[in-house]
Amino acid sequence: MSSKNMGHRIKTYGLWFLIILAVAAALYFILREYAPAGWLASNGLRILIIAAASAAASFALRWAIPHFLHITIRKGQKGKKADQELQERVTTLSRVFAFTGTVVIALIAAFMILAELNINIAPLLAGFGILGVAIGFGAQYLIRDLIGGLFVIVEDQYDIGDVVKISGIAGVVEDINLRRTVLRDLDGIVHFIPNGESGIASNYTREWSRVNLDIEVSYGTDLDHAISVINRVCSEMAEEPYWKEAWIKTPEVLRVNELGSSGIAIKIIGDTKPIRQWETMGEMRKRIKKAFDDEGIEIPWPHTKVYFGEESPEPGRGKAKRPPVPPRETPGEALPPEDEFEG
């Protein structure tokens, strides 16, 4: 922790200590003036102890939670960016846990102090129970979003800057908190997705990315020659400093992937650093197209054959002959008697 943050935290704790001290002193003088004799020495002292203990517990909770999260939440990567991401996750979770714990401690302390003041807290508890049920029904979606966001952050499903697909929407993560995730898609549209409705989240840039590219060639192409040209293009790219830095594993031809209706698909596979796969695939398409033009390798397009009424000839028989057309009957010519058809 930096000295600046430490100084800010000390100032914050000091301010809270002064506020609590001032409130305690005011209560002491009020109770000394108006409380019955002997009450301040017994009940007042217990109230003071309850207030001091609850404040100490709240401060201890705020101090212990960040340290505990730093130990339990670990990143697989190392470096300045990984440390920054870890700090952001710890800060977000610390705020949530510390706020929840402080509220619980304050409620417990308030009920204990009311009991020392001889105030019947049974109706108050019943009222809080009814209010809690009403809030629970009204805030069930909010609670679901908060729980979903908690798992997103704890499990490190995605971070700011990752390209993800959530609820059928793909985009760059611009912001995350416990309630919602903000995505910006390729058209620049910003989507606010509640974490409780995220469902399946697909991360395209987790630790590394992959080049998965299909290139089609015509059926008359020498496949071995086409594969060698593709591998040569990938190797030449890998020798350039810019692309060498982007690739983890140089792309190469994996297999002949498909015998399609118009051509033969060749699959290329390789690994890149996160979010660099689309850039490298675009450059590969451009270079492979240029290399194919230089080598005379045809990239196919759909073809359609059209026949105008004549049947295609059978193999080895030349041109097919049409069946003879029966003579057309001339007007006025008598038809044969019906008994001739009976035979």
Range scoring the smallest mean pLDDT among 82-86, 234-238, 273-277, 327-331: 327-331
In-domain check, residue 310 = no
Please check whether residues 67 and 162 belong to one and the same domain: no
Contact 270, 283 (CB under 8 A): no
Cα 132 to chain centroid, rounded: 33
144, containing H or E segment: helix 140-154
Range scoring the smallest mean pLDDT among 32-36, 60-64, 231-235: 32-36
Please check whether residues 24 and 123 belong to one and the same domain: yes
Please check whether residues 279 and 221 belong to one and the same domain: yes
* pLDDT surpasses 90 at 69: no
Please check whether residues 7 and 131 belong to one and the same domain: yes
- C-alpha–C-alpha distance, residues 125 and 131, integer Å: 10
Q: How confident is the model at residue 334 (pLDDT cuts 50, 70, 90)?
A: very low
* pLDDT surpasses 60 at 320: no
Instruction: Give the residue among 315, 214, 313 at the shortest CA–CA distance from 256.
Output: 214
Range scoring the smallest mean pLDDT among 70-79, 162-171, 172-181: 70-79
- C-alpha–C-alpha distance, residues 237 and 77, integer Å: 27
Q: How confident is the model at residue 296 (pLDDT cuts 50, 70, 90)?
A: very high
- C-alpha–C-alpha distance, residues 116 and 186, integer Å: 62
Buried b (16+ CB within 10 A) or exposed e, 109-137: beebbeeeeeeeeeeeeeeeeeeeeeeee
Instruction: Give the residue among 273, 274, 229 at the shortest CA–CA distance from 252.
Output: 229
In-domain check, residue 169 = yes
In-domain check, residue 320 = no
Please check whether residues 217 and 116 belong to one and the same domain: no
Please check whether residues 121 and 215 belong to one and the same domain: no
CA distances from 169 to 158, 183, 291, 328 (A): 14, 8, 36, 69
* pLDDT surpasses 60 at 270: yes
Q: What is the mean pLDDT of residues 146-155?
A: 82
More confident residue, 63 or 266: 266
Q: How confident is the model at residue 284 (pLDDT cuts 50, 70, 90)?
A: very high
Please check whether residues 132 and 7 belong to one and the same domain: yes
CB atoms < 10 A from the CB of 288, how many? 22
Q: What's the total number of domains in the chain?
A: 3
- C-alpha–C-alpha distance, residues 287 and 230, integer Å: 9
Q: What is the pLDDT of residue 90?
A: 76
In-domain check, residue 326 = no
Please check whether residues 29 and 126 belong to one and the same domain: yes
Q: What is the mean pLDDT of residues 40-54?
A: 75
The 3 state secondary structure assigned to 23-54 is HHHHHHHHHHHHCCCCHHHHHHHHHHHHHHHH
Please check whether residues 7 and 134 belong to one and the same domain: yes
Please check whether residues 234 and 270 belong to one and the same domain: yes
In-domain check, residue 66 = yes
- C-alpha–C-alpha distance, residues 149 and 305, integer Å: 57
Q: What is the mean pLDDT of residues 273-301?
A: 92
In-domain check, residue 187 = yes
Q: What is the pLDDT of residue 343?
A: 40
Q: Which domain holds residue 240?
A: 209-295
* pLDDT surpasses 80 at 11: no
The residues pairing with 173 across neighbouring beta strands, listed in sequence order, are 183
Contact 178, 146 (CB under 8 A): yes
Q: How confident is the model at residue 164 (pLDDT cuts 50, 70, 90)?
A: very high
Phi, psi of 176 (to 5 degrees): -135, 135
Instruction: Give the residue among 31, 32, 23, 30 at the shortest CA–CA distance from 52.
Output: 23
In-domain check, residue 111 = yes
Mean of all residue pLDDT scores within the chain: 78
Please check whether residues 105 and 14 belong to one and the same domain: yes
CATH number at residue 278: 3.30.70.100
Q: What is the pLDDT of residue 31?
A: 63
User: What number of residues does the chain have?
Assistant: 343
- C-alpha–C-alpha distance, residues 14 and 18, integer Å: 6
- C-alpha–C-alpha distance, residues 36 and 28, integer Å: 13
Q: What is the mean pLDDT of residues 5-15?
A: 61
Q: What is the pLDDT of residue 78?
A: 58
Q: What is the mean pLDDT of residues 112-136?
A: 72
The tokens of 232 are what?
């040569």
Please check whether residues 127 and 33 belong to one and the same domain: yes
Residue percentage of the chain with pLDDT more than 70: 69
Residue with tokens 């194919």: 292
Rounded to the nearest 10 degrees, the angle between the axes of helix 223-239 and helix 277-295 is: 130
Q: What is the pLDDT of residue 228?
A: 95
In-domain check, residue 19 = yes
